[in-house]
Amino acid sequence: NAGVTQTPKFRILKIGQSMTLQCAQDMNHNYMYWYRQDPGMGLKLIYYSVGAGITDKGEVPNGYNVSRSTTEDFPLRLELAAPSQTSVYFCASGLTGELFFGEGSRLTVL
Amino acid sequence: DAKTTQPTSMDCAEGRAANLPCNHSTISGNEYVYWYRQIHSQGPQYIIHGLKNNETNEMASLIITEDRKSSTLILPHATLRDTAVYYCTGDKLIFGQGTTLQVKP
């Protein structure tokens, strides 16, 4: 099993550009989460999903969109990148609250 | 979701037990308490969880008070590799700032 795979690992965006962070898991987990972590800070929940076709907002959803068309994939979309979205993004999956995290995607918006 | 409060930082001598507290006074009756840790800039790692009873696994022990308003994560013999940020959270998996544990030789 590959676990939770995030791509890309690093990305630099210009202000106003759009991009999608990919997250895939091969453990057949129903629950999937997206977090962001700013330098020196804790994790902030952006969006989560309890199963295919179901998504819900977390603490900081503004500026992001998600979809969950399959159990395996949970992409995070940034429509108009802003410098405030410079962060490390972590995707996680689990059957319950025991989550498995990806290695993170480091995004810089200039 | 339970609002959690943890000390910002703690030190522990290598080989000694590390006791990390967490206050979760707003936790609901059937809500689990979860503990995670994050080493350097890696993705967080699940450690342990519990509801009412004390729990132990190969990584740590979890002591939950009878009123369930607080808990303590115990690393029985801390090593330098246990230096990390430790988070406690409830069922909604909303993480706070966590406790930075520094294990010193």
Cα separation, A101 vs A90, whole angstroms: 7
* DSSP codes, B22-79: EE-TT--TT--EEEEEE-TTSPPEEEEEESSS-EE-SS-EEEE-TTSSEEEEEETT--
How far apart are alpha carbons B75 and B82 in whole angstroms? 8
Tokens of B96: 């706070």
Query: Could you say which residues from 24 to 83 on chain B have a Cβ atom under 8 Å away from some Cβ of chain A?
Result: 32, 34, 36, 41-46, 49
- Percent of chain A past pLDDT 70, that is, above it, reads 99
Q: For residue B28, what pLDDT band results from cuts at 50, 70 and 90? A: confident
Interval A41-72: pLDDT, tens: 999 999 999 999 999 999 999 999 999 999 99
Q: Each residue of B2-15: pLDDT tens digit?
A: 689 999 999 999 99
Statement: residue B17 has pLDDT above 80: yes
> CB-CB: which of B34, B43, B91 is closest to A90?
B43
Q: Could you tell me which chain A residue has the CA closest to the CA of B96?
A: A42
